[in-house]
């Protein structure tokens, strides 16, 4: 699963660290981003005896995304703005060092679209990498917490922020940018881990020199085959200069294949949310990217949602798994898009292998045409066709997607992916909006509601659950099993060699289910709603499972930002999320806590 | 232990509720304030298997004092400022209702001396009583959370605040006042539980008509006997009008004896902390009070620290226990004073029975003269004798006392009291200060340090622990056993029929120890430092133990108020507490969480 020798990554040491399952050295547990752990001390038989071992309040309210890094004896955790980092001694649970950057809250917080979240730290070369909200990327000495270098990755005054987890590959650290709701043009940037010097930067849109696309060598899936994109593949899909404020931000999770030396990630929605204002495919927003790790040169790119009309931001994570599809082994990349389709592509070539709905309530497109790679849009749910100032009713999924930032896990034991999912639909009314630097550039009013349909059949069933936890076969594009959850599952899962999958719920439960059947084996109510990722590691001979709780993120924005006045008037607040998640406040309140679980001695 | 029929308390129903150990209906578990529970499902043998059952983040940072009330199926918890109340369904752990009063943070928070704490709710007559920080006392419908009435108990613009737990007796609810560091004249007030109308108000100082002292009937301990206090017992111990700004606030915990129909409590330090400025005994600051519950008339009063020179605020709780002292059964009142002496008095008469140091590092007085009831002050540690602008060095205990607000527990099984203690000394330099309404009226600069002496022998031992957990025989005035704690134990304990005593530590551990020996049987690190009280109850056939964590209070003020700049310069901040507790920030961070423990199923 995790590939080949680490010749080229000697500098950072990350790959080596991830090969020891006692560590959790990168957001996905490994470069492939599978969130699979070889540990099996906690297993389907004994997980019912799990119990909290210790806990640690972070001192920060609002949404806590991401998870801990564990490098040998030390645990590293992070908080949302103000982005405090704690290095914690596992033995004593005492804070070895802490670091809180200086940031201007008044400039930064107002331009964070979806809560003041941070998706966690990066590690490499003896350094902890902190991606501050205000776009400053900071390297800290992992032993002392002393700042080694900082670099400005963007400008919050222009609506740029950062929420993603820095990703160390060889001697660079990769980071993206947020601000799709502020007309920010997305990019991926690689900085030297030793100095913070920019090594390369590849935009999501613009001239080929900006995107690092080679018209002849960079390919995409078209006419049933891998095809060179040709010149100006991005700018020719935009009206005039709109690509300059075109979105396609890169705030998700990244993967790396050391053998192919390619990094993978998705780009976000085109700006604005009003599709009528921006004719064209708006390439390469909403796309999967394969870039050379050394130069940023684009190997291939694939657009999931050309000319987005629903904010189906394409940034979701891209686990790398080798599997047999249609009788042939492929090095695949798997991607569960906000738009409700689960994609399997060949990660070497970008060949499209599978594209099926992982939630059958999805209705905005009938299917993906496997030849063109394009979704077949249903006119009734086309906010473009219905036009400005018309409310498109009942489009599924809602803008926050059949899945959002919460990363999936994969178990080689079952060959299944475990998807933390949303199960909502929406009403969406686009309106004309002018771009002003640093101001919201949204152009749509939304409300959201339960999908009310079965996830497997798509049949209306009057259900009110907003979440599903689904096991998926990416070789065939089929659901193996799916559990309902009252609220969206906004927490990243982890699958283990013990046959267990762990995830958190918005009410605050850490849950363990049987990887084969989905049967619930254990749950515990942590202090606050969980939007963090569950990670697992071993210390001193004992397996631990840990998760940050702390309600927030887009789903929890009503509570996190205190913008729910409790009446229908505020339903459209928080980009449409407040109404749908109102009842969440009966279950959980703000507060960041890290809870560590173990079996009794 | 808990006395007699409830004839006179029919209105509130409190006494009845406290007789069912499944409830925890009042701060002390019962009117006697013994914090003893008849429950024994969790016991010395099985407590090692205890584990967190669920947890709930309160959404509020800073110090969380007090504990939950449990009335049948519903749990009531509270937060520091802004004083949110949550009614939680034990079955689902969902919030049934919540209430947050409107308060002016800018007026109130700056005049709270020792963090924005609140010591919990009162219950009676189907109402929850919330004592807001801004002195407003509010009655809420316990079922719906709807406000029934509110009454203004003081004026924050004059430095008055409230932190204490309202105490329901018969058809009144009692509340005190805070502000001893702002020249507030303390009082106890009784409001009608149905209407909020003031029924009586008794000041700590002033003319007899204000104190509700009857010169002939009110007694005190003098010349070895219970003696009427005579006319003007308070104002004749003050220079001029100083009693009007004389302190003696009443922010502690109150007890009630239904048979004697007396309520008991302590009054705080005289204002200012500079003793040179206020000649006289400054009566009745620093005193224990016994008042008629219906009229407020004072039955007896006893001053522990006449003319305070160290801020040995006398408000600590007053558990009521019947025990044999010197061969004779007494209805006793027991009181562990800030000044380091453990007092046992006859609660009917005010006769002084025992007064011994419960921490032998105490050096400000050699002993209490049992005839006069007065402590024999050691000149070297007299900040008055050393004078203004002279640093009195090494006085023990420190101003925050050998014990502070953290209430003790008592087990009738062992006949011992369990004292959460501090183990610090101080340097104290008084200086001249002018009174300005609503401004600090402190007049002393302090630093604190470890006592560095054995708690039982008083011998210097180079120890650095700031806390002790001590078992005390109040019949003889002797320590049974004492455990060291790295930091002050700022959490109230509970003793149970299972032979276990529970308390929390500033690092955040909930601990269970053997009531007989002090042997540690269980510990768990809750999210944040514990300054709350551990309570226990039974729901659906299962015994639970619950505690609020959330570092703060005076000991945690450096973290809570963010006033520790990490250098010696800030050692004197937080009224002298910042330096001594600096290292606490390596162990714990802010954040309010309620954690519930139980045995596994
Ligand atoms: O377009 C962007 O730049 C951008 C940024 C972010 C972010 O950085 O958190 C989110 C989104 N978009 C977004 O569309 C979205 O659904 C979302 C959810 C969350 C979250 O953390 O819960 N962030 C974001
Ligand atoms: O004189 C007063 O009115 C007053 C009030 C309070 C309070 O209300 O919290 C404290 C004190 N004094 C005080 O002396 C003190 O040590 C103290 C500790 C605490 C605490 O909650 O940790 N409060 C207070």
Q: Is the pLDDT of residue A148 over 70?
A: yes
The whole-angstrom separation of Cα A209 and Cα A218 is 13
For residue A420, the surrounding DSSP H or E stretch is: strand A416-422
Q: Quote the minimal CA–CA distance from B522 to chain A in Å.
A: 12
What would the pLDDT profile of B425-483 be if each residue is shown by its tens digit?
Answer: 999 999 999 999 999 999 999 999 999 999 999 999 999 999 999 999 999 999 999 99
The reply to whether residue A56 touches residue B527, judged by beta carbons under 8 angstroms, is yes
CA angle A220, A221, A223 (to 5 degrees): 125
Report which bound ligand comes closest to the CA of B252.
2
Confidence at A11, pLDDT banded by 50, 70, 90: low
| Residue B170 exposure: Cα atoms within 13 Å on the Cβ side | 18
What is the model's pLDDT at position A191?
98
Q: What is the mean pLDDT of residues B342-371?
A: 98
The reply to whether residue B527 touches residue A585, judged by beta carbons under 8 angstroms, is no
Q: Is the pLDDT of residue A2 over 50?
A: no
Q: A-chain residues within 8 Å CB-CB of B54?
A: 524-525
B253 Cβ below 6 A of ligand 2: no
Q: Which residue has the tokens 């006069």?
A: B372
Give A 31-50 residues with CB within 8 A of chain B: 49
The reply to whether residue A57 touches residue B549, judged by beta carbons under 8 angstroms, is yes
Report which bound ligand comes closest to the CA of B270.
2
Q: Quote the minimal CA–CA distance from B87 to chain A in Å.
A: 10
**Closest partner CB to B52 (pick from A52, A59, A589):** A52
Which runs of E-coded beta strand occur in B413-497? 416-422, 424-430, 444-450, 467-473, 478-485, 494-496
What would the pLDDT profile of B22-43 be if each residue is shown by its tens digit?
Answer: 999 999 999 999 999 999 999 9
A556 Cβ below 6 A of ligand 1: no
**Closest partner CB to B591 (pick from A525, A591, A600):** A591
What is the model's pLDDT at position B86?
98
A422 Cβ below 6 A of ligand 1: no
Report which bound ligand comes closest to the CA of A62.
1
The reply to whether residue B94 touches residue A586, judged by beta carbons under 8 angstroms, is yes
Q: A-chain residues within 8 Å CB-CB of B487?
A: none
Q: Which two tokens stand for residue B78?
A: 């509270």
Confidence at A255, pLDDT banded by 50, 70, 90: very high
Residue of B52, B57, B566 to mutate for A, most A C-beta atoms under 10 A: B57
Residue of B508, B544, B591, B601 to mutate for A, most A C-beta atoms under 10 A: B591
CA angle A187, A193, A199 (to 5 degrees): 45
A308 Cβ below 6 A of ligand 1: no
What is the model's pLDDT at position A601?
87
B181 Cβ below 6 A of ligand 2: yes
The whole-angstrom separation of Cα A161 and Cα A179 is 6
The whole-angstrom separation of Cα A432 and Cα A430 is 7
For residue B336, the surrounding DSSP H or E stretch is: strand B328-336
Nearest atom of ligand 2 to the alpha carbon of B271:
1
Is A454 tagged catalytic?
Answer: no
Residue of A46, A59, A526, A561 to mutate for B, most B C-beta atoms under 10 A: A59
Q: A-chain residues within 8 Å CB-CB of B595?
A: 55, 527
Which of A197-206, A514-523, B80-89, B570-579 shows the lowest per-residue confidence on average (mean pLDDT)? B570-579
Q: Is the pLDDT of residue B6 over 50?
A: no
The reply to whether residue A95 touches residue B55, judged by beta carbons under 8 angstroms, is no
What would the pLDDT profile of B393-413 be if each residue is shown by its tens digit?
Answer: 999 999 999 999 999 999 999
Q: A-chain residues within 8 Å CB-CB of B526?
A: 55
A323 Cβ below 6 A of ligand 1: no
Q: Is the pLDDT of residue A8 over 50?
A: no
Q: B-chain residues within 8 Å CB-CB of A587?
A: 93-95
Whole-number Cα distances in Å, A512 to A537, B298, B597? 16, 61, 20
B251 Cβ below 6 A of ligand 2: yes
Catalytic residue among A311, A359, A473, A564: A311
Pair A283, A204: CB distance under 8 Å = no
Confidence at B11, pLDDT banded by 50, 70, 90: low
Report which bound ligand comes closest to the CA of A533.
1
The whole-angstrom separation of Cα B601 and Cα B595 is 18
**By the CB < 8 Å criterion, does B59 face chain A?**
yes
Report which bound ligand comes closest to the CA of A400.
1
Q: Ligand 2: distance of its center to the CA of B266 in Å? A: 13
Give A 543-562 residues with CB within 8 A of chain B: 549-550
Give A 503-532 residues with CB within 8 A of chain B: 508, 524-528
The reply to whether residue A590 touches residue B57, judged by beta carbons under 8 angstroms, is yes
A405 Cβ below 6 A of ligand 1: yes
| Bridge partners of residue B86, in order along the sequence | B77, B98
Q: Quote the minimal CA–CA distance from B94 to chain A in Å.
A: 5
**By the CB < 8 Å criterion, does B97 face chain A?**
no
A81 Cβ below 6 A of ligand 1: no
**By the CB < 8 Å criterion, does A585 face chain B?**
yes
In percent, how much of chain A has pLDDT > 70? Answer: 98
What would the pLDDT profile of B533-548 be if each residue is shown by its tens digit?
Answer: 999 999 999 999 999 9
Q: Which two tokens stand for residue A130?
A: 């902190």
3-state secondary structure of B170: coil
CA A437 to chain centre: 26
3-state secondary structure of B436: coil
Residue of A486, A582, A593, A595 to mutate for B, most B C-beta atoms under 10 A: A593
Q: What is the mean pLDDT of residues B206-227?
A: 98
Confidence at A580, pLDDT banded by 50, 70, 90: very high
* Pick from B370, B390, B374: nearest CA to B382: B390
Q: Is the pLDDT of residue B149 over 90?
A: yes
What would the pLDDT profile of A182-238 be if each residue is shown by its tens digit?
Answer: 999 999 999 999 999 999 999 999 999 999 999 999 999 999 999 999 999 999 999
Nearest atom of ligand 2 to the alpha carbon of B164:
8
What is the model's pLDDT at position B7?
42
The whole-angstrom separation of Cα B143 and Cα B74 is 9
Q: What share of chain B is helix, strand, coil (3-state, %, to 5)?
A: 10, 35, 55
The model's pTM: 0.96
Q: Is the pLDDT of residue A5 over 90?
A: no
In percent, how much of chain A has pLDDT > 90? Answer: 98
What is the model's pLDDT at position A1?
44
What is the model's pLDDT at position A441?
96
Contacts made by residues A225-229, CB under 8 angstroms, sequence distance 24+: A226/A300, A226/A349, A226/A350, A226/A351, A229/A301
- Residue of chain A nearest B589, judged by CA positions: A59
Q: Is the pLDDT of residue B126 over 50?
A: yes
The reply to whether residue A52 touches residue B56, judged by beta carbons under 8 angstroms, is no
Nearest atom of ligand 1 to the alpha carbon of A161:
8
Q: Which two tokens stand for residue A511?
A: 């849950």
B404 Cβ below 6 A of ligand 2: yes
The whole-angstrom separation of Cα A552 and Cα A561 is 8
């Amino acid at each position: 699963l995790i590939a080949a020798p680490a010749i080229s990554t000697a500098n950072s040491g990350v790959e080596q660290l991830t090969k020891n399952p006692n560590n959790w050295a990168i957001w996905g547990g490994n470069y492939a981003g599978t969130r699979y752990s070889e540990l099996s001390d906690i297993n389907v038989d004994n997980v019912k005896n799990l119990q909290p071992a210790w806990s640690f309040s972070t001192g920060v309210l609002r949404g806590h995304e991401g998870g801990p890094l564990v490098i040998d004896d030390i645990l590293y955790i992070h908080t949302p703005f103000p982005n405090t980092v704690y290095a914690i001694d596992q033995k004593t649970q005492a804070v070895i060092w802490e670091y809180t950057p200086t940031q201007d809250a008044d400039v930064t917080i107002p331009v964070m679209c979806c809560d003041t979240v941070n998706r966690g730290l990066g590690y490499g070369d003896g350094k902890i990498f902190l991606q501050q909200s205000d776009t400053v990327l900071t390297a800290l000495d992992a032993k002392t917490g002393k700042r080694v270098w900082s670099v400005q990755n963007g400008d919050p005054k222009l609506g740029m922020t950062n929420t993603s987890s820095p990703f160390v590959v060889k001697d660079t650290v990769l980071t993206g940018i947020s601000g799709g709701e502020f007309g920010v043009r997305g990019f991926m940037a690689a900085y030297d881990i030793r100095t913070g010097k920019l090594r390369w930067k590849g935009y999501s849109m613009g001239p080929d020199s900006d995107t690092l696309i080679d018209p002849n060598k960079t390919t995409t899936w078209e006419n049933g085959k891998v095809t060179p994109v040709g010149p100006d593949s991005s700018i020719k899909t935009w009206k005039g200069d709109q690509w300059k404020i075109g979105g396609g931000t890169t705030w998700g999770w990244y993967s790396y294949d050391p053998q192919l030396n390619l990094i993978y990630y998705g780009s976000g929605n085109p700006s604005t949310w009003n599709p009528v204002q921006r004719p064209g495919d708006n390439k390469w927003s909403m796309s999967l990217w394969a870039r050379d790790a050394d130069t940023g040169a684009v190997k291939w790119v694939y657009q999931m949602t050309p000319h987005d009309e629903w904010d189906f931001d394409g940034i979701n994570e891209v686990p790398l798994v080798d599997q047999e599809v249609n009788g042939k082994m492929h090095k695949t990349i798997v991607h569960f898009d906000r738009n409700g389709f689960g994609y399997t592509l060949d990660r070497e070539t970008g060949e499209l292998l599978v594209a099926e709905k992982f939630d059958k309530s999805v209705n905005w497109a009938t299917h993906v045409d496997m030849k063109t790679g394009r979704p077949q849009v249903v006119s009734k749910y086309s906010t473009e066709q219905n036009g400005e100032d018309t409310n498109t009713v009942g489009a599924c999924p809602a803008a926050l997607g059949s899945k959002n930032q919460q990363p999936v896990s994969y178990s080689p034991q079952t060959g299944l992916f475990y998807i933390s999912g949303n199960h909502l639909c929406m009403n969406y009314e686009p309106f004309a909006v002018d771009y002003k630097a640093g101001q919201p550039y949204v152009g749509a009013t939304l409300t959201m509601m339960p999908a009310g349909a079965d996830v497997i059949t798509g049949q209306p069933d009057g259900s009110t659950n907003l979440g599903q936890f689904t096991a998926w076969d990416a070789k065939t594009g089929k659901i193996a099993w799916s559990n309902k959850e009252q609220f969206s599952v906004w927490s990243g899962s982890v699958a283990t060699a013990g046959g267990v999958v762990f995830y958190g719920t918005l009410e605050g439960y850490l849950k363990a289910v049987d990887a084969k059947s989905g049967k619930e084996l254990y749950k515990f109510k942590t202090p606050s709603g969980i939007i963090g990722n569950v990670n697992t590691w071993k210390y001193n001979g004992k397996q631990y499972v840990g998760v940050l709780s702390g309600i927030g993120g887009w789903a929890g924005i009503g509570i996190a930002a205190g913008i729910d006045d409790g009446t229908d008037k505020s339903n459209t607040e928080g980009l449409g999320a407040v109404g749908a998640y109102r009842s969440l406040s009966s279950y959980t309140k703000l507060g960041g806590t890290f809870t560590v679980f173990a079996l009794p001695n």
